[in-house]
Structure 1
Amino acid sequence: ERSNPGNNRKRLPRSCKQRSTVSGLYYIKPLKAKQQFLVYCEIDSSGLGWTVIQRRLDGSVDFNKNWNQYKEGFGYLSPTDTTEFWLGNEKTHLLSTQSTIPYVLRIEVEDWTGQKSTADYATFRLGSEKDNYRLTYAYFIGGDAGDAFDGYDFGDDPSDKFFTSHNGMQFSTYDKDNDKFEGNCAEQDGSGWWMNRFHAGHLNGKYYRGGTYSEADAQPAGYDNGIIWVTFRTRWYSMMKTSMKIIPFNRYGTDGGQQFVSKGSKAGDI
């Protein structure tokens, strides 16, 4: 359904519809959701509908929010997709766990020269709030942006890759610390994320105009706190634009739109 809160006659879709032709705002109601909510559906060139769960593009929204704000979502949804937002961990949890058909997560990054790239992950899901919205996925599908979620060897320590991986990490905010660090990464970085001890990918970081920033810019802590994806650009380069979007695996297409269905899934589960 397009955004029309008064129209409750038809059963609302559980996610962005497969055959929608126009990107825009739609009401959806995942299987276990108590009520409908608004999402931005991005329709790609194959006509497939991605549900966008994060958007950064101009630094207009402060991503240094508390646990409840990240749970419920913040920012602004616009029909022209020209605003920054976080859809909300609870909404993403409901979306990604509602079916036997798993979801694909796509990370999109764009640097300050306009170069764009993607990274796709299979069987993405967020756990419940009881599990602190734990991020899990099965494997990295591909994409020129590279697999920053798997961690990165910065050359500082043999444990770099292990302590910068994000798969299996719980969500942290400045008022709810679930990371592996002695301190509070979310508080130091000024944003919520699936923190390990450190990070190799962090799309909710501080918005630095121009891209390159330094330890002096990242005060008071001096840590790399920008919008980073280190397999695409260094940890001292902050992206101009990013998005995170999800789609059911049986609607995910590559190589001219070839469709993939995970083992054991049934058509019509979503």
Structure 2
Amino acid sequence: MQADVSGRYLLRPVGSSQTFAVVCEAESLGGGWIVIQQRINGTVEFNRNWEEYKIGFGSVGQFNEFWLGLERMHQLTTSDSYELAVELRNESSHYGYALFSNFKVAGESNKYRLFSGFRYSEGIIGNAMEISFNEQFSAIDQDNDRTPDIACGSKYKSGWWFYHCDRANLNGPYKKDPQTGRGIYWKKWANAATYSRIMIRRC
């Protein structure tokens, strides 16, 4: 979806009869993005169960915290090729980003698996999702990671495409000084993130 001005729009995915609200970003990293996650101040709890991560939560808006929902990500990416962008800031407003190609989310029957062709492209915060490729999504009540005897979603109070628990977790508890692997976490970036935004763009 191409929007000339950043803001809230209604979108209908290809092959769907239903529309839903999305936030479009028209300026950052060349524009053309749909925001699928945003953390700005800790007002929305991301310690959610599988069903909530499936349908989405928070109020979709340009200045709000929200998670668009795994089912909507699947609907958007199933018929087209998408890039993914991660943007982070810390309390001192230091900024970093990472870009990825071939972002595609499988359906619920495959636990919203991240497509195996998902690849890092470029950025200044590095590739903390290097072992998330081909991983299923986990939440606090559904453990689909590959870490023996540890349920990463439950341990780190979030939902994510975990392999091991400690590489990336942008849905972790909102903390301004997180311990390793806790809070809004991106292992390749030394700064504790207090802002994150995940966006997708059709290629």
Place the TM-score, normalised by the shorter chain, in its bin: over 0.9
- CA deviations 1:168-189 (Å, max 9, x no partner) are 1100111111111222110111
Q: How far apart in 1 are the matches of 2:42 and 2:6?
A: 23
RMSD: 1.6
Letter in 1 for 2:198: M
Shift of 1:45: 6.0
Offset at residue 46 of structure 1 (A): 8.1
Question: In structure 2, what residue type is equivalent to 1:143?
Answer: G
Taking structure 2 as the reference length, what is the TM-score of the superposition? Answer: 0.93
The residue matched to 1:186 in structure 2 has which SS?
helix
Determine which of 141, 152, 162 is the counterpart of 1:175.
141
Identity %: 35
Indicate whether 1:133 and 2:90 are aligned.
no
- What's the TM-score, normalizing by structure 1? 0.71
CA gap 1:205/1:45 in 2 versus in 1, 3 angstroms: closer
Whether 1:72 aligns to 2:55 is yes
User: Could you say which residue in structure 2 is the equivalent of 1:213?
Assistant: 178
Structure 1 contact 171–195 (Cα < 8 Å) conserved:
yes
| Counterpart in the other structure of 2:8 | 25
Q: Relative contact order (C-alpha < 8 Å, sep 6+): which is higher?
A: 2
Greater shift in the superposed pair: 169-178 or 39-48? 39-48
Larger Rg belongs to: 1
Is 1:73–1:88's contact at 8 Å kept on the other side of the alignment?
Answer: yes
| Structure 2 Cα separation of the partners of residues 24 and 106 of structure 1 | 17
SS of structure 2 residue aligned to 1:69: helix
Unmatched 5+ stretches in structure 2: none
- Counterpart for residue 187 of structure 2: 230
Superposed CA deviations along residues 191-241 of structure 1, whole A, max 9, x for unmatched, are 1111113231110011112xx334xxxxxxxx73211111112xxx53110
Q: Which residue of 1 aligns with 2:160?
A: 193
Partner of 2:202: 248
Q: What is the deviation of 1:145? A: 1.0
Structure with higher strand content? 2
